[in-house]
Structure 1
Amino acid sequence: MRANDPSSSTPKTNKAVVEQYIPIKNVKIHGSKNTGKERYKPGDQIYVRKVSGFFQKLRQRMNLVYFAFFLMLPWLQFNGHQAVLFDISEQRFTLWSLTLWPQDLTLLAWICILGAFLLFFVTTFLGRVWCGYMCPQTVWTFIFIWFEEKIEGTANQRRKLDQQKLNRKKVIRKTLKHSAWLLFSLYTAMTFAGYFSPMQDLFIDVVTLNTSVMMAGILVFFTLATYGNAGWMRETVCLHMCPYARFQSAMFDKDTVTVAYDSKRGESRGARGRKQDHKAMGLGDCIDCNLCVEVCPTGIDIRNGLQYECINCGACADACDGVMDKMDYEPGLIRYTTEHELQGKKVNIVRSKLIGYAVLLVIMSTLLVLEIVNRVPLSLEIIRDRTELAKENFNGDIENVFTLKILNMSQTDNTYKLSMQGIANTQWHGKQEVTVKAATVYTLPISISVDPYELEHYMTTITFTVEQVAPIGEAKIEQESRFFNKH
């Protein structure tokens, strides 16, 4: 074939191949700076429009309870101490009547595993509702948006204010907003720190400006983190930083309840008058008002199908139901539903994956309860004298020196009786009954002596026993050690 042959430069089009191509179009997000070339840019400003409805009232009430719980919990007292305190410096976690120590690492592991599987179960059943209703990032973002609405106005007013040139009104409102954000962030940081440091002492130190350098650094860090996450980054955290958004699809199936748009009922979209017969015009119920996009905190269009950015907050469903009510249409064009329901198929609420998660939750909850019930709030550490394993005292007896560290893991002062078994006719030199204060370690040096004729071997296994005698309880622990002969 010659180089100048037209057939060599213009390839023939295969009709069968062309018919397999899927037509695409660029989608422009309403109210965004995006030109349609990209679906989302992290730098785009999303002006979330206020919406009211059943799901938003439910979310607000849940957020209020959650936020009040977060604020009040560090202030609660129980039996003379802070009810919830994760004291890292003292290496103990206090949860009302339960005190956890490093020895209880397995118990903490069970709690974390149980929480993870509970999240898996809820996600499989109700989708990403944790993100929409209970996630701290969402709760604090909506609180910061509330400050914006009170200071700068509605979404349209905030957009116009940002587009204005710098003037006195803009400076005052921006200063008030960011000041409110920073003060609220500082209070959040102080409350959060109160879970890890005694809250009453921390509050007094902050008010009197008497905090340590380390605590001041912690407060500054968490203040700026809250201010940045809820004030500036917002949906960027959900879309690009939160791992839950990435792996949630592994738990979804076609019977998972998510917020979805009923395309069969809504298409084709188009504007129309309230009294016009839209069906005669060949239109669906969607009037293409874009309110579902304007109220979305992550800036997506739910009409494009299920997207990992959706946090299942239901804002678009409330906005759409409001429009349907004004148009005298049936509500539920956007609603909590399943993929099978939208396809007109049977919805399987009880299914193998859900049953599997439920069974695992029951098993792990049972194991956790058993672990707590069978937990002995007492620990014993035995330290031998390392300078001399055994020595002969002035009576000719063989003597071994030990240091007993008794940890009272309960929240009451207890009296314990100590004893030793394994060798007959031994003599105990030191206290055999001690009182240990709540959540403290008692160090007791003792020595055990025995006639060498009672020792058959160079090394004999012995058992120390610590038993609670007052107040009367069932706390008892045994710990093995070794008794060495001189020769």
Structure 2
Amino acid sequence: MDELYAEAHHWEVNTGGETIHAKRMPGKWRRIKWLAASVWLIFFLGPYVQWNGRQAVLFDIPNRQYHLFGVTVLPQDFWMLSLLLLFFAILLAVATALAGRVYCGYFCFQTVWTDVFTWIEERLEGSPPQRRKLDKAPVDARKLRIKVLKHAIWLVIGFLTGFSFVAWFYGAGPLWRDFFVGGANAAVYASVALFTFGTYLLAGWLREQVCFWLCPYARIQGVMLDKSTVVPAYDVARGEPRGRVKKGDLEETRTTGDCVDCNQCVAVCPTGVDIRNGQQEGCITCGLCIDACNAVMDKVGRPRGLIRYASLDELEGQSVKPMLLRPRVWVYTAILALALSGIIYGLSTLAAIELKVLHERAPLYVQLSDGSIQNKYTLKILNKSETDLKVEISAEAPVPLTLMGAEEPIAVKHGEVTPAIVFIKIGRSDLDGERLPVTFVATTQLPDGTQVSAERENAFFGPSR
């Protein structure tokens, strides 16, 4: 318990009492961080990608249609969304189990936006010491000009974030047409305003405080790690005891470890933690401390890797279990495969029309004056295409039947469910039992000439023999 208290005592947790101005240093992990962050360009540019004359990906909530390139998903097929959410949730768990908060460090929108905001801050205000000096300086014309320009750029980025988000749901073209002339609805303006000031507040002001106190993932990621998880780690055995490098020191007479106590690993950390005190809540696994430490090791002529991606087992000199021998990897992989298979199956089996058949229960059947038996059915035809269709209905059974109520094609509007009532009549002499299978078939022709159909089996009921 004393050891745990001592370790926690050295954790660096900034509670918002000071603004962290992280130093920027070039390096391998900084380049990877920028490349990973560039994935978010899809968020801004995606709404402008066209597919067959319309926006390639459009979540059309008012019309309850979700267009994904050549596929249109309706609410009836939204079970695939559950599988998609499950897929990404498990993928996040896999990434955390294998490499800690790697999502936070490289892909999280909060981390990426904060990185962009602080990059702008550095371009305008200078290095971290210069920024701290400017913050403490009295307000004059120069400070006011720099601060106003910085916050204006932050607000513009926030506005573009909100505008791009709404474009995925409203349509990029219609949004540009309606937004600036007051033609959009109140929900559009409210959403853009919320994202504008939310982005400005979270990425510009709260920054790492979101990672510490607001993000639920930061609270649960600790239970996903184990001794085999690879995270940025300080090699205590190699680095301690720390000591400054002095001119004239000889390697063979050196009594200190490789850590020269330069604090560059702390200076570049976007959350202000000292990785030398062990893995802690504030570490977002971005690897920037590795770049800083490697640069210092190069200068003092010592091997790289004092801070590196490593597991606790590796640092303790224990054998590292291969990834494929870890049970949790197999469990996660199986869940991912099942979820992905379900999504692929759902997308591949989407049809232009869907048919459901409801049998009338009261009465179950009616005997007509000619002795034949009649059953009543309610058909529900869902048009998943983007155009109105004319659907023809037919029915099949092992015995001759007469279908009534579907002599003419049924007009079905796109994206809607159209009900239709039909009757089936079968001669009493043709019934050899109380129940007979009946198959309804809905057939239509799409605008491109493609013939599509949907089938649904039901039952025909009659009196007992």
TM range, smaller chain: 0.7 to 0.9
Match of 1:429 among 393, 401, 405: 405
Letter in 2 for 1:309: G
Question: Any residues of structure 2 matched to 1:1-400 within 5 Å, and which?
Answer: 27=10, 39-64=13-38, 66-273=39-246, 275-277=248-250, 280-350=253-323, 351-381=326-356
CA contact 2:395–2:403 (8 Å) conserved in 1: no
Asked whether the 8 Å contact 1:458–1:484 carries over to 2, the reply is: yes
Cα root mean square deviation, aligned: 3.6
| Aligned partners of 2:10 and 2:277 also within 8 Å | no
Q: 2:454 aligns with which of 459, 466, 476?
A: 476
Report the residue type matching 1:280 in the other structure: T
- Greater helix fraction, Structure 1 or Structure 2: 2
Aligned to 1:464: 440
Deviation, structure 1 residue 131: 0.7
Instruction: Indicate the percent of aligned positions where both proteins have the same amino acid.
Output: 35
Q: Please point out which of 396, 419, 426 is paired with 2:394.
A: 419
Describe the shift of the 1:358–1:47 C-alpha distance in structure 2 as closer, same or farther (beyond 3 A): same
On the 8 A contact 2:354/2:454 being kept in 1, the answer is no
CA distance in 1, matches of 2:379, 2:95: 47
Moved more, 470-479 or 215-224: 470-479
For 1:21 and 1:407, locate their aligned partners in 2 and report how far apart those are by CA, in whole Å.
61
What is the CA-CA distance between 1:206 and the residue it aligns to? 2.3
Cα distance in 1 for partners of 2:5, 2:185 equals 63
Which moves more between the two structures, 77-86 or 465-474? 465-474
Matches of 1:106 and 1:271, distance apart in 2: 60
Q: CA deviation at 1:25?
A: 9.9
Distance 1:431 1:158 in 2: 79
3-state SS in 1 of match to 2:97: helix
Q: Equivalents in 2 of 1:335, 1:390: separation in Å?
A: 76
Gaps of 5+ in 2: none
1:408 and 2:386 are equivalent in the alignment: no
> 1:412 deviation in Å?
6.9
TM-superposed CA distance for 1:43, in Å, is: 3.4
C-alpha separation between the residues in 1 aligned to 2:249 and 2:355? Answer: 82
SS at 1:196 equivalent: helix
Q: What corresponds to 1:11 in structure 2?
A: none
Question: Is the Cα–Cα contact under 8 Å of residues 408 and 441 in structure 1 kept in the other structure?
Answer: yes
SS class of match (1:195): helix
Specify the SS of the correspondent of 1:419: strand
The aligned amino acid for 2:87 is: L
SS in 2 for 1:89: coil
Matches of 2:79 and 2:298 in 1, distance apart?
54
Is the 1:74–1:194 contact (alpha carbons within 8 Å) kept by the matching residues of 2?
A: yes
Q: Give the conservation status (yes or no) of the 8 Å contact 1:292–1:301.
A: yes
| Alignment deviations for residues 344-376 of structure 1 (CA, whole Å, 9 cap, x no partner) | 221113222223222332333333323333444
- When residues 107 and 170 of structure 1 are mapped into structure 2, their CA distance, relative to the original with a 3 A threshold, is same
Whole-angstrom CA distance in 2 between matches of 1:404 and 1:23: 71
SS in 2 for 1:407: strand
- Between Structure 1 and Structure 2, how many residues are aligned? 456
Residues 150-200 of structure 1: per-residue CA shift (max 9 Å, x gap): 111111111111111121111111111111000110011000111111111
Aligned AA for 1:313?
Answer: C
Distance in 2 of aligned mates of 1:191 and 1:291: 37
Within 1, Cα distance between the matches of 2:390 and 2:231?
Answer: 57
CA contact (8 A) 1:86 1:93 kept: yes
Partner of 1:6: none
The offset of 1:462, in angstroms, is 6.0
After the TM superposition, which of the residue ranges 340-349 and 129-138 deviates more from structure 2?
340-349
Cα distance between partner residues in 2 of 1:279 and 1:140: 47
1:140–1:230 contact (8 Å) kept in structure 2: yes
Q: Aligned-pair distance for 1:414?
A: 6.0
1:441 aligns with 2:416: yes
Deviation per residue, 1:46-67 (Å, 9 max, x gap): 1111111000011112212x12
CA distance in 2, matches of 1:23, 1:236: 24
Deviates more, 1:282-291 or 1:367-376: 367-376
Return the TM-score normalized by structure 2: 0.86
C-alpha distance in structure 2 between counterparts of 1:326 and 1:283, whole Å: 17
Distance change >3 Å, CA 226–CA 386, structure 1 → 2:
farther
Change (3 A) 1:396 1:180: farther
Contact kept? 1:416, 1:466, Cα under 8 Å:
yes
Secondary structure of the equivalent of 2:189? helix
Amino acid at match of 1:188: T
TM-score (normalised: structure 1): 0.82
Please list every run of 5 or more consecutive structure 1 residues that lacks an aligned counterpart in the other structure.
1-18, 30-38
Q: How far, CA to CA, are the matches of 1:22 and 1:102 in structure 2? A: 52
**Structure 2 CA distance for aligned equivalents of residues 428 and 411 of structure 1:** 29
Structure 1 residue 278: deviation in Å? Answer: 6.2
Measured at CA, do residues 387 and 147 of structure 1 come closer, stay the same or move farther in structure 2, by a change above 3 Å?
farther
Q: Distance in 2 between matches of 1:249 and 1:349?
A: 21
474-483 or 70-79: bigger deviation? 474-483
In 1, Cα distance between equivalents of 2:145 and 2:4: 55
Higher RCO, 1 vs 2 (CA within 8 Å, ≥6 residues apart): 2
CA shift digits 1:455-478 (9 cap, x unpaired): 999999865321345544564231
CA distance in 2, matches of 1:375, 1:238: 40
